Amino acid sequence: MTTISQARFLRLVVLLGALVAGGWVSAFAAAVELKLQAQLVWGTNERVSSEAGLKEVDTALQARLRNVFKWQTYYEITRKPVAVTTAKPQTAKLSDDCTIEVKQLAANRIEVKLIGKGRPVVTHTLELRPATPLVIGGDDKNNTAWFVVITQTDKA
């Protein structure tokens, strides 16, 4: 330490200051609110009467779901906005039986817990990617299926 020149020491201090500032900026970035959208979707091969009041999901999502799953029609049961930060997890009730809990773990990393009839069904952690929804699904009665589609809508 005694051999470090004054100028070199000051450079070291400036460098460390810059690193600390970078750390704070990074931590602040991680605290940015993530805006998500959660949809509960029902997939079936039957046409449902319009009297049921069900609305089909938008054409683009319907096409994508059709290309991956066997069902031909996908109805949107619920759509809920979910805004999360690292400090504020969110719970969204999508139906009487279906709830999701979303936690932000890092800037673009979230944990999604699916709860069915009060019981945790699955917990999934993932890195959010642009225009790449997370689709959690399962068999339902009468050869139908349910889906929870979580999409990133925007960053605040």
Residues in contact with another protein by CB under 8 A are 1-2, 6, 9-10, 12-13, 16-17, 19-20, 23-24, 26-27, 30, 37, 40, 42, 48, 52-54, 64-65, 67-68, 75, 77-81, 94-95, 97-98, 105-107, 109, 114-117, 119-127, 129, 131-141, 146-148, 153
Tell me how far, at minimum, the Cβ of 28 lies from another protein, in Å: 9
Tell me how far, at minimum, the Cβ of 91 lies from another protein, in Å: 14
Residue 131 Rama label (left phi>0; alpha psi -120 to 50; beta): left
Tell me how far, at minimum, the Cβ of 156 lies from another protein, in Å: 14
Distance from C-alpha of 70 to C-alpha of 21, rounded to nearest angstrom: 51
Tell me how far, at minimum, the Cβ of 4 lies from another protein, in Å: 8
Distance from C-alpha of 8 to C-alpha of 81, rounded to nearest angstrom: 53
SS3 state at 74:
strand
Q: Which is nearer to another protein, 59 or 119 (CB)?
A: 119
Chain CA centroid to CA 58, Å: 19
Distances (CA, A) of 7 to 3, 13, 16: 12, 10, 14
Q: Which is nearer to another protein, 26 or 72 (CB)?
A: 26
